[in-house]
């Protein structure tokens, strides 16, 4: 690759900056171009090469004749791996009670151990998490127009919990998204769901039925990604502001190198020059900060989800324990009260039903003195 493009090409081939940690910055679009220049189109084509052509190519590459190929096919066939005929398959789970072979002894020990792990209930969440990854594999679009073009890049982004969530600092990422190189940064922004976007501000103890339907996301639309010295601001709506300004002004007074700004909605991932494995920043709602890490850049494969409408594709979502109502311990909390003489603790969480039964008479009059705020449980995303 270096021969064809010289120094400029080398610059865009990712190499480690710190071994096994992160790469040096490289331009994603140029990196893709290097790949497409170096690879034959049928290497990344979605159509599978017919068997006859594969055979001819194999014969040429290995410099063998046709008979040798046939012989190889017979010797290496899956059939040769079977110890019983297909019509009379053995019960592979059946192991003699006292096996003599070391491999069988190991297998029996493993099998006995597995039996002790059996639980009589199904983990619905685990099944769902697994499904999420598997469902999209090899999915083809209904409309051919939506097909992810051959030679498109798929980027994997890990989005971590908000930095203030101390508890989740060391657990798996909150979400993993696959995005297409040709997508805009705003597509990823819209795909990231954070509990802070769903908050409703205000105190509603006097008017619990008046909790507005609009959420923080509708009110405070400004956000930015920070990649390699550039703040990419979301400026799609008239009420959006450049919330990186304070940071940039502050940096100027402390002799930092100058930071740049760009528009999130005008930037596609191919335009980015970034490091793989390096922690970058996504900031929204003024100060809700998430670490964002690009973990993988690769060409789309025929086994990937090929429906571009499904991108950004959510492939992993960490789940958290939901906070239950402190009265019934059954339903997920919807309200949080403070200075509440009726509550066992301060602040205190309630489900909607318990909150109303506890704090209002049958005509809806407020009982006692307390403040009530709407509560969105982080586990609501599970």
CB of 334 to Zn ion, least distance (A): 9
> Of the listed pieces 27-35, 198-206, 234-242, 322-330, which binds Zn ion according to CB under 5 A?
322-330
- CB nearer Zn ion, residue 9 or residue 349: 349
- CB nearer Zn ion, residue 162 or residue 277: 162
Q: Where are the beta strands (DSSP E) in 75-166?
A: 153-162
Q: Are 151 and 36 in contact (CB under 8 A)?
A: yes
Q: Rule CB under 5 A: choose which of 155, 283, 293, 327 binds Zn ion.
A: 327
Does 297 help bind Zn ion (rule: CB under 5 A)?
no
CB of 374 to Zn ion, least distance (A): 15
Does 376 help bind Zn ion (rule: CB under 5 A)?
no
- CB nearer Zn ion, residue 31 or residue 350: 350
Does 194 help bind Zn ion (rule: CB under 5 A)?
yes
Q: Rule CB under 5 A: choose which of 26, 28, 159, 162 binds Zn ion.
A: 162
- CB nearer Zn ion, residue 264 or residue 354: 354
Q: Are 146 and 309 in contact (CB under 8 A)?
A: yes
> Of the listed pieces 54-62, 106-114, 272-280, 317-325, which binds Zn ion according to CB under 5 A?
317-325
Alpha helices by DSSP H, listed for 269-375, are 352-359
- CB nearer Zn ion, residue 304 or residue 377: 377
CB of 184 to Zn ion, least distance (A): 20
Q: Rule CB under 5 A: choose which of 328, 341, 357, 367 binds Zn ion.
A: 328
Does 325 help bind Zn ion (rule: CB under 5 A)?
yes
Q: Rule CB under 5 A: choose which of 180, 294, 306, 354 binds Zn ion.
A: 354
DSSP state of 51: H
Among positions 200-259, residues that touch Zn ion (CB under 5 A) are none
DSSP state of 182: T
> Of the listed pieces 89-97, 132-140, 251-259, 327-335, which binds Zn ion according to CB under 5 A?
327-335
- CB nearer Zn ion, residue 31 or residue 232: 232
Binding mask 264-293 for Zn ion (x = CB under 5 A): ------------------------x-----
Query: For residues 72 and 76, what is the distance between their CA atoms, to the nearest angstrom?
Result: 6
- CB nearer Zn ion, residue 53 or residue 328: 328
- CB nearer Zn ion, residue 306 or residue 327: 327
CB of 288 to Zn ion, least distance (A): 3
Does 351 help bind Zn ion (rule: CB under 5 A)?
yes
Among positions 64-123, residues that touch Zn ion (CB under 5 A) are none
Q: Rule CB under 5 A: choose which of 158, 175, 176, 196 binds Zn ion.
A: 196
Pairing of strands 22-23, 26-27: unpaired
Chain positions contacting Zn ion, by CB under 5 A: 162, 194, 196, 288, 325, 327-328, 331, 351, 354
């Amino acid at each position: 690759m270096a021969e064809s493009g010289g120094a400029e090409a080398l610059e865009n081939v990712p190499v480690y900056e710190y071994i096994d940690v992160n790469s040096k910055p490289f331009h994603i679009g140029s990196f893709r171009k290097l790949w497409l220049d170096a690879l034959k189109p049928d290497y990344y084509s979605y159509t599978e090469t017919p068997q006859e052509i594969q055979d001819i190519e194999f014969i040429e590459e290995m410099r063998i004749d046709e008979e040798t190929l046939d012989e190889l096919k017979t010797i290496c066939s899956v059939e040769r791996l079977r110890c019983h005929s297909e019509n009379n398959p053995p019960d592979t789970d059946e192991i003699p009670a006292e096996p003599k072979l070391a491999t069988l002894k190991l297998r029996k020990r493993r099998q006995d151990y597995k039996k002790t792990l059996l639980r009589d209930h199904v983990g619905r969440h685990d099944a769902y998490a697994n499904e999420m990854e598997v469902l999209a594999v090899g999915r083809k679009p209904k409309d051919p127009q939506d097909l992810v073009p051959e030679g498109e890049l798929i980027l994997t982004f890990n989005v971590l919990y908000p930095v203030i969530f101390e508890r989740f600092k060391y657990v798996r990422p909150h979400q993993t998204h696959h995005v297409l190189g040709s997508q805009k940064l705003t597509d990823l922004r819209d795909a990231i769901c954070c509990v802070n976007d769903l908050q409703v501000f205000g105190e509603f103890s006097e008017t619990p039925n008046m909790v507005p339907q609009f959420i923080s996301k509708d009110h405070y639309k400004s956000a930015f990604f920070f990649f390699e010295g550039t703040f990419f601001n979301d400026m799609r709506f008239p009420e959006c502001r450049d919330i990186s300004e304070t940071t940039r002004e502050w940096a100027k007074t402390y002799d930092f190198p100058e930071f740049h700004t760009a528009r999130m909605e005008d930037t596609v991932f191919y335009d980015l020059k970034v490091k793989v494995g390096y922690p970058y920043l996504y900031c929204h709602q003024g100060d809700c900060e998430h670490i964002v890490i690009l973990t993988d850049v690769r060409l789309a494969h025929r086994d990937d989800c090929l429906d571009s409408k499904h991108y950004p594709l959510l492939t992993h979502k960490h789940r958290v324990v939901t906070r239950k109502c402190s009265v019934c311990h059954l339903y997920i909390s919807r309200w949080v009260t403070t200075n509440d003489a009726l509550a066992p603790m301060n602040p205190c969480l309630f489900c909607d039903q318990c909150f109303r039964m506890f704090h209002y008479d049958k005509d809806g009059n407020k009982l006692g003195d307390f403040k009530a705020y709407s509560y969105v449980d982080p586990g609501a995303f599970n």
